[in-house]
């Protein structure tokens, strides 16, 4: 499945380079119009990152997210600085189908596991961003990629298997925003080790051939951000490529 992504700061559509707020590109696009454009092209899910809410949960862009959901054009998964059950509940009440949880899954796994149990595995996506060292160790980054933990990706997944976590969005930080292609090997390894998880590949997709290259990894979703915003290809072309690869 092709899942276009949209990052929002103060109502504007933006992209950050490797999570750095100082390396921001703003696009002159209306977020609700983007929903319609992507839906017209065949997208059935949209990934929303609330970067304003990630910095300050009191400023979460709930009204904007709600207006996007109310188009009823597709389903939505959304996140950005999820720190409390209130944050989860607010997004679900706004009509989001899946809440995306990042750093907290590493910092407070017991708490996040409670939410997976309470709301169900279908309602939670773990967003695990990894730094891969020279020995191939995959360490999960936290705090918007500003810090690397000493917790491995495999350890997090083994822990969350206890509550049947189903959806994991995994990003190789070194690829994000670079348009240099996805880390296919990463997803192949993870899919083989954790076949019950529906993997979403994120980071580095710059051309249609990068989408084709992911087919052997058997990921369930391909997140597309910058490439779509910069017109490298359309959602319609990406879907056709994924279906025909």
* Residue-wise burial string across 144-175, b where 16 or more C-beta atoms lie within 10 A, e elsewhere: bbeebbebebebbbebbeebebbbbbbbbbeb
Distance, in Å, from the CA atom of 26 to the CA atom of 9, rounded to the nearest integer, reads 9
Task: Look at the block and give the residue holding tokens 């997210």.
Answer: 65
Look at the chain and count its residues.
245
Establish whether 129 is a catalytic residue: yes
* Of 60, 193, 80, residue with least CA distance to 144: 80
* Of 117, 123, 31, residue with least CA distance to 82: 123
Which pair of structure tokens corresponds to residue 192?
């083989």
Which is catalytic among the residues 87, 129, 176, 210? Answer: 129
CA distances from 26 to 92, 133, 229 (A): 27, 31, 10
Q: Give catalytic residue positions.
A: 7, 129
């Amino acid at each position: 499945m092709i899942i276009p992504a949209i990052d929002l700061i103060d109502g504007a559509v933006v992209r950050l380079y490797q999570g750095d707020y100082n390396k921001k590109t703003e696009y002159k696009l209306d977020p609700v119009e983007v929903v319609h454009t992507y839906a017209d092209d065949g997208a059935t899910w949209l990934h929303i990152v609330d970067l304003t809410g990630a910095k300050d949960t009191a400023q979460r862009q709930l009204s904007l997210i709600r207006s996007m959901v109310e188009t009823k054009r597709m389903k939505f998964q959304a996140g950005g600085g999820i720190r409390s059950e209130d944050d989860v509940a607010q997004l679900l009440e706004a009509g989001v189908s899946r809440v995306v949880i990042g750093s907290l899954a590493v910092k407070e796994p017991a708490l996040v596991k409670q939410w997976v149990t309470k709301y169900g595995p279908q309602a939670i996506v773990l967003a695990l961003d990894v730094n891969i060292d020279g020995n191939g160790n995959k360490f999960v980054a936290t705090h918007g990629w500003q810090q690397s933990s000493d917790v491995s990706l495999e350890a997090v997944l083994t822990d969350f298997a206890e509550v049947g976590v189903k959806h994991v969005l995994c990003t190789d930080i070194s690829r994000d925003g670079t348009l240099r292609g996805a880390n296919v090997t990463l997803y192949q390894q993870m899919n083989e080790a954790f076949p019950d998880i529906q993997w979403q590949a994120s980071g580095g997709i710059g051309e249609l051939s990068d989408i084709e290259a992911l087919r052997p990894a058997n990921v369930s979703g391909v997140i597309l951000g910058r490439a779509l915003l910069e017109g490298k290809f359309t959602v319609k072309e990406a879907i056709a490529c994924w279906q025909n690869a």
